[in-house]
């Protein structure tokens, strides 16, 4: 086939192609290893998401859809004998627990609770399930699901520091509890109590004991602290970790004598690397298995299509002598193995994003969700012995065949102080080396996340419109060790700004086709902060788009759901301790210097970086007759670009690209 013929068959990506994509994830291997259940999410009528369960048969190579209709069905989990699948569905109007026979037949609704259900976990040998539900103190667990009724308006009374959360809004008095459902008797029993949230339940192999996570009291300085608890059924729980920290995803060893989990002690506050730990439950001794490596033991790779995929934790090998887990470094997320002696090796790597996995102990194989810059995402079965991979799904094969998708070029460069930084550049679609092209700088949020080798619909959209796309991991990003991720704290707008701008200079030097007079910049959250900071420091960019940004650290402290601790963590002080420092790091201080046309995008229900941050910046700019526009997205939170309503996600992309086009 000639290249010209091939080009004629290919389409370019546009904002509305988001509607055509399917997202596969949460693979679960059946106990006999012959079937894989997973979730496929698609967009229905441009306005909502539908999620359904599919099962891949490894013998017949057939894929069957097991749930249907306009609903969200997710969290499939196999029973120990492989005879049933439990899952969560909102088909009744609220998330409830359902169970479906694996041999075929209708799913039946196991719970009809007023407070709903989440996170099913099968008993290792019996027909019983742990699940999570939310209850107020003294509320009846067995209250039935009911239709929403109009209630009389009442004031919202606050006496807790943590009273709101992005994605949830103003919090009620409910707490997440762990309950037990018996399939034989249909009896539901509440296992946890008290004014705490309980999560990540896990069974011991003999089914006599559960482990879970519980945060500490809602007091200043303790909001992010979470402890591990062990509870033998019918007895009182006890705290496992002696030293406070942030811990999660407990998993019992095959013999039930040890527990693996993730966490740290906040040595570097929110920039602390996540580690893998094991506690011997008999000896009461704890070992950090990843102490010898400078590694972030979680998936922190940003993608606008694969967000919030569940992790199984650090899963044990059959002999109980080691664990497998996800970890992120240098723009990739892979699978690693750690022995009980602390020897850590990468097992499955490559320039790609492993965004979910399920492990089968008996055969030492796994099923992964894998994405890379030119592959949207599919499931692969992998033998961890010989590393052989078999692709199971081809969820977007026709889309990928029909559309022009551009692979990025990776490069490294030195910042102003000599620090080495990694970056990527995507050339425009149908690139012609005799032409010059505008450049869009994309800046990620966090800041303790990372860009890298995962598919990004937004980046490919910009490339299809004739832009080159530059994205980098400046200091503060994950994936480059503890010193690197900690390096921006207390210095927002300092070394990190120099890293980003040095990336632009390096791209202009390395890629001669870039037009230095046609530079554009955008970013969200921390990336929005940095966008605001950049336009207050330089006029090099023709136009900018700041999204869900921070403009004023003084007000952020009191209005953000995390402001009361994040401000101290990242800037170094509360506003009552050093107001001048917070003001010096606030982009709005430098609003007089902003000349770049600035589009401000914000979500009405953003509780992480509340919309007043955008409002302040817009008013300050407009009052000085600067070129700006404010776009407010209804019914949207901080995650608009990743999980927002589909039509609003598309409109967000249109606002960005139209703004750049206006000043191109």
Q: Of 420, 414, 566, 569, give the one whose Cα is nearest residue 480.
A: 420
- Rounded distance between C-alpha atoms, residue 175 and residue 215, angstroms: 11
Q: 3-class SS at 26?
A: strand
- Do 389 and 382 contact (CB within 8 A), yes or no? yes
Look at the alpha carbons of 267, 273, 274, 278 in this order and tell me if their dihedral is positive or negative. negative
CA distances from 410 to 353, 375, 413, 448, 453 (A): 15, 17, 10, 20, 10
Residue 430 exposure: Cα atoms within 13 Å on the Cβ side: 13
Residue 615 exposure: Cα atoms within 13 Å on the Cβ side: 10
DSSP code for 405: -
As given in the structure block, the two tokens for residue 80 are 């120990």
Helix (H) or strand (E) holding 631: strand 628-633
Q: Considering the candidates 177, 353, 403, 638, report the single residue annotated as catalytic.
A: 638
Q: Cα 76 to chain center, whole Å?
A: 19
Q: Whose structure tokens read 């080159």?
A: 468
| Torsion angle (degrees, nearest 10) of CA 162, 164, 168, 170 | 130
Partners of 50 in the beta sheet?
42
- Rounded distance between C-alpha atoms, residue 556 and residue 568, angstroms: 11
As given in the structure block, the two tokens for residue 132 are 């999570």
- Rounded distance between C-alpha atoms, residue 396 and residue 20, angstroms: 9
Peptide bond into 447 cis (omega under 30): yes
* Catalytic annotation present for 415: no
Burial 613-625 (b: 16+ CB within 10 A, else e): bbbbbbebbeeee
Q: How far apart are the first and last CA of the chain?
A: 36
- Rounded distance between C-alpha atoms, residue 532 and residue 536, angstroms: 6
- Rounded distance between C-alpha atoms, residue 108 and residue 225, angstroms: 38
Helix (H) or strand (E) holding 202: strand 199-203
Burial class (CB in 10 A: 0-12, 13-18, 19+), 15: buried
As given in the structure block, the two tokens for residue 200 are 């990540």
Non-local (6+) Cβ contacts of 56 within 8 A are 35, 36, 38, 62, 63, 379, 392, 393
* Catalytic annotation present for 638: yes
For the sheet with 628-633, list strands across it: 409-414, 420-426, 468-473, 437-443, 514-524, 543-547, 598-603, 628-633
Q: Considering the candidates 525, 555, 603, 641, report the single residue annotated as catalytic.
A: 525
Residue 214 exposure: Cα atoms within 13 Å on the Cβ side: 23
As given in the structure block, the two tokens for residue 363 are 């055969």
Partners of 610 in the beta sheet?
none
Q: What is the largest CA-CA distance in the chain?
A: 75
Show the 3-state SS of 32-59. CCCEEEEEEEEEECCCEEEEEEEEEECC
Catalytic site positions: 525, 638
């Amino acid at each position: 086939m000639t290249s010209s013929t091939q080009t004629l068959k290919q389409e370019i990506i546009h904002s509305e192609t988001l509607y055509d994509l399917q997202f596969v994830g949460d693979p679960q291997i059946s106990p006999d290893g012959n079937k894989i259940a997973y979730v496929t999410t698609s967009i229905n009528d441009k306005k909502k998401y539908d999620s359904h369960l599919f099962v891949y048969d490894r013998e017949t190579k057939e894929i069957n859809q097991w749930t249907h209709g306009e609903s969200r069905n997710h969290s499939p989990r196999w029973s120990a004998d492989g005879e049933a699948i439990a899952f969560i569905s909102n088909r009744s109007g609220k998330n409830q627990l359902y169970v479906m026979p694996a041999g075929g037949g209708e799913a039946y609704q196991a719970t009809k609770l007023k407070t709903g259900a989440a996170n099913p976990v099968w008993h290792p040998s019996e027909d019983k399930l742990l699940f999570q539900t939310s209850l107020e103190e003294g509320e009846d667990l067995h209250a039935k699901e009911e239709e929403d009724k109009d209630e009389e308006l009442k004031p919202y009374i606050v006496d807790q520091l943590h009273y709101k959360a992005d994605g949830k809004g103003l919090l009620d008095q409910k707490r997440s509890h762990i309950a037990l459902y018996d399939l034989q008797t249909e009896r539901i029993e509440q296992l946890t109590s008290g004014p705490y949230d309980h999560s990540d339940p896990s069974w011991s192999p003999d089914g006599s004991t559960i482990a879970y996570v519980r945060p500490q009291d809602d007091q200043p300085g303790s909001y992010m602290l979470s402890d591990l608890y062990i509870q033998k059924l019918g007895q009182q729980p006890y705290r496992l970790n002696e030293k406070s920290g942030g811990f999660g995803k407990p998993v019992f060893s095959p013999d039930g004598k040890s527990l693996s989990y993730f966490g740290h002690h906040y040595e570097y506050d929110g920039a602390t690397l996540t580690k893998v730990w094991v506690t011997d439950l008999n000896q009461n001794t704890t070992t950090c298995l990843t102490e010898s490596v400078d590694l972030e033991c979680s998936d922190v790779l940003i993608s606008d299509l694969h967000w919030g995929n569940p992790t199984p934790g650090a899963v044990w090998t059959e002999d109980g002598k080691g664990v497998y887990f996800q970890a992120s470094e240098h723009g990739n997320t892979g699978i690693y193995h750690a022995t009980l002696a602390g020897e850590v090796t990468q097992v499955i790597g490559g320039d790609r994003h492993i965004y979910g996995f399920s492990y089968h102990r008996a055969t030492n194989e796994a099923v992964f969700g894998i994405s890379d810059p030119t592959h949207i995402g599919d499931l692969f079965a992998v033998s961890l012995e010989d590393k052989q991979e078999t692709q199971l799904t081809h969820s977007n094969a026709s889309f990928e065949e029909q559309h022009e998708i551009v692979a990025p070029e990776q490069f490294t460069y030195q910042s102003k102080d000599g620090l080495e930084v990694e970056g990527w550049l995507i050339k425009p679609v149908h690139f012609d080396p005799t032409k010059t092209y505008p450049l869009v700088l994309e800046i990620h949020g966090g800041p303790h996340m990372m860009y890298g080798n995962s598919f990004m619909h937004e980046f490919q959209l910009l490339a299809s419109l004739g832009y080159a796309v530059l994205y980098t991991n400046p200091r503060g990003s994950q994936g480059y060790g503890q010193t690197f991720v900690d390096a921006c704290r207390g210095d927002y707008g300092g070394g990190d700004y120099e890293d980003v701008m040095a990336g632009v200079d390096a791209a202009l030097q390395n890629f001669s086709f870039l037009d230095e007079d046609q530079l554009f910049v955008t970013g969200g959250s921390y990336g929005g902060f940095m966008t605001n900071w950049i336009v207050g420091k330089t006029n090099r960019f023709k136009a900018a788009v700041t999204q869900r940004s921070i403009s004023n650290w003084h007000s952020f402290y009191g209005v953000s759901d995390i402001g009361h601790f994040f401000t101290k963590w990242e800037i170094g002080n509360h506003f009552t301790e050093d107001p001048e420092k917070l003001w010096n790091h606030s982009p709005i201080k430098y609003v007089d210097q902003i000349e770049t046309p600035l589009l401000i995008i914000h979500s009405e229900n953003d509780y992480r970086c509340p919309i007043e941050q955008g409002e302040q910046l817009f008013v300050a700019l407009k009052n000085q007759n600067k070129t700006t526009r404010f776009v407010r997205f209804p019914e949207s939170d901080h995650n608009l670009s990743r999980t927002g309503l589909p039509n609003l996600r598309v409109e967000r992309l249109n606002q960005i690209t139209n703004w750049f086009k206006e000043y191109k």
